[in-house]
Structure 1
Amino acid sequence: MGNARRSAVLAAISNFWNGSASIGFIALGCVLLGLGILGAFLPGLPTTVFVIGAAWAFGRSSPQLELWLLDHPRFGATLRAWRTSRAIPRRAKVAACLGKAVGFVLFVVMVKPSLWLACLVLIIMAGVAIWIICRPEPTAITIASQRLTSQN
């Protein structure tokens, strides 16, 4: 962790203990970020939606933690693309759709739902997958402008 990130995290913790930040939103952001990190390792649990939610919660409570997340080497570009143009990278779209497919197969094999419940879950998951696929992808111009603004 670089000095700037470490300073941002320490400043956020200081604000937390001084009571100037919203405890509820910081707690929510931490929980969402934790779920997002778990989602990177557990099939069927999404990552991006939880990290986007964490950025939203941090944005309402701690500008330092929000900035830390937006500048994060792993999550930052995806978060900035979502904020600027509601764009989802192709790799994230593929991962989300594959995760939904694996999740549905595990649901059917392990739960053995009735036909109507399996169809209902399939329709909902397919609808969400279609929505994800229909989101725009970040353009090279968007990515370049994000790099310039994050360096300033």
Structure 2
Amino acid sequence: MMGITETLAEVRSGLRRLSPAAAQAAAREPGTFIVDTRPEAQRKDFGEIPGAIVVERNHLEWRLDPHSESRIPEAVEAGIRWIVLCQQGYSSSLAADSLRRIGLSRSTDVIGGFEAWRAAGLAIHHPAIPTQPR
């Protein structure tokens, strides 16, 4: 029986994972989207990536499968390149593998997740914290 460490290594061996900078560049190409799977609380605490599509992990396959009645408007065909992002780059690898298993073969993820994106100095949107009345 494989544990999570072995499973993650096996999954990643089948992905062409991207650095944050490579993911940002790839997202400019037609038919390529960054998908932020982090929960709302993490997005509020740490910020968001401008232009990323937010689909929390528990909805991912249904929203990105072009054959699903629950798909998002961008999910028009199986050839879309989905670049999945989580907080640290672990669950995104598993999510990208799951997408590949349902026929979305160009799916991959961001090495190091949002934390690596932020550390690379790439664009982040963090909603302003409202000021308290004095």
The TM-score range, normalised by the shorter chain, is under 0.3
**Structure with the bigger percentage of strand:** 2
Q: TM-score, normalised by structure 1?
A: 0.25
Q: Which has the higher helix share?
A: 1
